[in-house]
Structure 1
Amino acid sequence: MAEAISGIGASASTGASQAAADRQKLADDLDDFMTLLTTQLQHQDPLDPMDANEFTTQLVQFASVEQQIQQNSNLEGLLAAQENSQLASVASYVGRMVEAETNQVQVYNGEADFNYILHEDAVSTLINIVDDNGRTVFSAEGNVAAGKHGVIWDGTDLSGQRLPDGIYKLTVSALDADGAPVDVTTTAVGKVTGVSYAGTEPELLLTNQAIKLDKVISIKETAIELSEVDKIAAATLKAKASSDDAKKSAEASVDYATALQELVNENDISGLDEELKTATEMMETANKASVAATEAYETAKNATSSYVAAEAAQTAAAESSKALVAATKGAQALARAKQLVAEANPEAT
C-alpha cells in the first residue's frame, strides 16, 4: 500500500513542481523584459520613439504563456485528484478474495483455489502445477467437458509432503478428438494483500503476484483470517484424515500378506516364498507408518500452537503416503504370486 501511495504522490508532486517552476521562470523572464523595456523607454530618441505595437505584442505573448501554464497546472491538479480517487477505489480490494486470469496459483493457508475454462469439449485434460525450480509438484487429469471447472489443491506434492505457501505456476493442457489443442483459460483465486502503482496503471498484489485490474473476473467476500484455535482445528482434521487413510492402507497390507500366506500353504511353487517375504515386509512398513500417523494425529489434537499442529499434520500426511506405497507393493507381490500359481497350474484356469 505504501508503494501505491508513494507512486501517486511522486506523480502529483512532479506535476506540481513543474508547474511552479514554469511560473517562476515566466515571472523572472517578465521581470527581465519589463526592466529592459523601462530602460529602453528611458533612453529612446524622442524624435524616433519605439514602436508600441512591438512591445504590446510581447506583453500579450507573456499573458498567453501565463494562461497556458495555469491551464496545465489545473489539468495536473485534476489528474492528481483522479489518480488519488482511483487509488482509493483500488485500495478497497485489499483484504478481499478475487478471481483473475493468470497462469499462476497462490497457496494460502495450505490451499490453492483455481479454475480452468475449456472453450470446447476435449478428450483429455491434464493439470500440472510447477514450483520455482521447475519441479512438477501436482499433476492430475481434469474434466473434459466444455465450460468452467474448479479445483481446490491441498498444497501437498506428489509424495504427500506439505508445500510452503507461495506462488506456483499452473498449466492446463487439453486435446480434442483429433489430437489438436483446445483453448484453455486459467484463473486463480487469491487474497489481495496490497496495491502497486509502480507502473502506468495500478496492480493488485496477491502476496508476491501482481494482477492487472483488467484481468480481474470477480471479487469475492472478504478473506477471513483463521484464529489460532481454528488453525489448530483445521490441522487436526487434516491429520485425522491422514491417520485414517494410513490405517486403511495398513489393513489392506495385512490382507495381502494373509492371502499370500495362504497361497504358500496351498502351493509348493518356487518364488512364492520371496513374494511372501516382500508382502510381509510391506505389511510391517505400513503398520509402522500407520502407528506414526496416529501419533502425529494425537500430537495435532493436543497441540496448543498452530505451528506444532501444522507440523504434525504434515508428518501424518507423509506417514500416510508411506503406508499407501507399502500397501501398493504388497498388492503387487500378491498379484505376482497369483500369476506364478496360474502358470504352474494352467489346467486350473
Structure 2
Amino acid sequence: MSGTIQGTTGAGGSAAAAGGKAKTGLAGDFNTFLTLLTTQLQNQDPTKAMDTNEMTNQLVSFAGVEQQIAMNANLTRLIGLQQGAQLTAAAPLIGERVEVESDRLSLQDGSATLRLPTAGPVQQAVIRVLDSAGRILREDTVKLGSAAQDWRWDGRTKAGQRLPDGAYGFAVAGLDAQGAAQTVAATVVGTATAARRPSGGDVQLQLGAVSVGFDAMRGIANP
C-alpha cells in the first residue's frame, strides 16, 4: 500500500502570524492612544474638561478589540489542530476504496467507478464521460435496481480507444418509466492515494488525479 500524507504551512500558520501582527499593532495603537490622552489631559481647557464617560468608552472599546484578536488567534489554533487531526485520520484510508462526492471521475489503473442509487421515480441512468472540452468520450445507459450498484468504466472511448489515467468529467441523467428526464445523483468510487493540506487551504483527499475536500467523503466503499 502506497500513498502520502503531507502537511504544509496552511491557514492556521498564516492566520496566526496575522493575528500576532494585529496584536502587536493594537498594542502600539493603544500606547499611542494613551500618549494622546495624557497630552490632551495636560493641555485641555479646565473649563471644558474631557467627558469621563467618553474616555471610559474609548478604553472599553480598545479592550474589546484586544479580546477579539486574542479569541481569533485561539480559534485559528483550534482550526489548525483540527486539520492536523484530519490528516492523521486520513492515514488509514490510503490505499482503500472510498466513496466521495465529486464532479470528476478518477481513472486509476485503467478503471473508474460510479455508484448509482436504487431505482425509484428514476428507472434508468444515462452516463456520459466527458473530456476537458465537454465532448462525450463514452455513453452508457444503465437500468437501476432494488439496490445501489456500481458502473465501471474501462477507460475506453466509444470507438474503443484506451485513454490514460487521469480525471475526467461526467454527467448522469435520469429517466423515469415514461422516458422523461429526472434528476439523479451518483458518487465517485476510487482508491485514496494521498491526503494533503495545501498552503492556505483545507485538507484534501486525492483519488489519483481527482482531489476532493475531506468533507466530500461519503463512506468506505466495498471492494
Q: CA deviation at 1:29?
A: 3.7
Change (3 A) 1:150 1:42: closer
What is the aligned partner in structure 1 of residue 149 from structure 2? 149
Q: Per the alignment, do residues 37 and 137 of structure 1 end up closer, same or farther by CA in structure 2, a change over 3 Å counting?
A: closer
Provide structure 1 residue ranges, at least 5 long, that are not aligned to the other structure.
224-349
- With over 3 angstroms needed to count, the CA separation of the structure-2 counterparts of 1:214 and 1:41, relative to structure 1, is closer
Query: Letter of the aligned partner of 1:5 in structure 2?
Result: G
Distance in 1, matches of 2:32 and 2:219, equals 60
1:162 to partner: Cα distance: 2.5
Aligned to 2:208: 207
Aligned pair count reads 218
1:84 aligns with 2:84: yes
The DSSP-based 3-state class of the residue aligned with 2:12 is helix
Match of 1:161? 161
TM-score w.r.t. structure 1 length? 0.47
| Secondary structure of 2:188's aligned partner | strand
CA-based RMSD of the aligned residues comes to 4.3
CA separation in 1, counterparts of 2:143 and 2:134?
24
Give the secondary structure class of the aligned counterpart of 2:143: coil
Distance 1:80 1:124 in 2: 44
Amino acid at match of 1:128: R
Q: For 1:27, what is the secondary structure of its paired residue?
A: helix
Distance (whole Å) between structure 2 residues aligned to residue 58 and residue 192 of structure 1? 56
Match of 2:218 in 1: 217
Q: TM-score, normalised by structure 2?
A: 0.68
Instruction: Name the CA shift for 1:58/1:81 in 2 (closer, same or farther; >3 Å).
Output: same
DSSP-derived class of the 1:157 partner = coil
Q: Distance in 1 between matches of 2:167 and 2:54?
A: 68
Question: Which secondary structure state, in structure 2, belongs to the residue aligned with residue 12 of structure 1?
Answer: helix
C-alpha deviation, 1:110, in angstroms: 1.6
Distance 1:84 1:13, change over 3 A: same
Structure with more contact order per residue of length (Cα contacts < 8 Å, sep ≥ 6)? 2
More strand by share: 2
Give 1:99 deviation, angstroms: 1.4
Shift of 1:82: 3.0
Q: Equivalents in 1 of 2:44, 2:182: separation in Å? A: 86
**Structure of higher CA gyration radius:** 1
List alignment gaps of at least 5 residues for structure 2: none
Instruction: For 2:219 and 2:65, locate their aligned partners in 1 and report how far apart those are by CA, in whole Å.
Output: 48
Task: For residue 148 of structure 1, report the CA deviation from its aligned partner.
Answer: 1.6
Partner of 1:346: none
CA shift for structure 1 position 108 = 1.0
Partner of 1:272: none
Structure 1 residues 106 and 92, CA, compared in 2 at 3 Å: closer, same or farther?
same
- Please give the alpha-carbon distance, in whole angstroms, between the structure 2 residues aligned to 1:63 and 1:191: 52
Cα pair 2:128 2:139 within 8 Å, conserved:
yes
Distance 1:55 1:175 in 2: 69
Alignment of 1:1-349 (within 5 A): 5-6=7-8, 9-32=9-32, 35=35, 57=56, 61=60, 65-90=65-90, 93-120=93-120, 125-194=125-194, 195=196, 197=198, 201-220=202-221
Letter in 1 for 2:7: I
Which ranges of 4 or more aligned residues in structure 1 deviate by more than 6 Å?
1-4, 37-45
Q: 2: distance between equivalents of 1:37 and 1:122?
A: 73
Write the distance in 2 (CA, Å) between the matches of 1:65 and 1:142: 60
Contact 1:19 1:72 in 2 (8 A): yes
Structure holding more helix per residue: 1
Give the fraction of aligned pairs with identical amino acids, expressed as a percent: 31
Superposed CA offset, 1:324-346 (max 9, x none): xxxxxxxxxxxxxxxxxxxxxxx
What CA deviation, in whole Å up to 9, does each residue of 1:230-258 have, x standing for no partner?
xxxxxxxxxxxxxxxxxxxxxxxxxxxxx
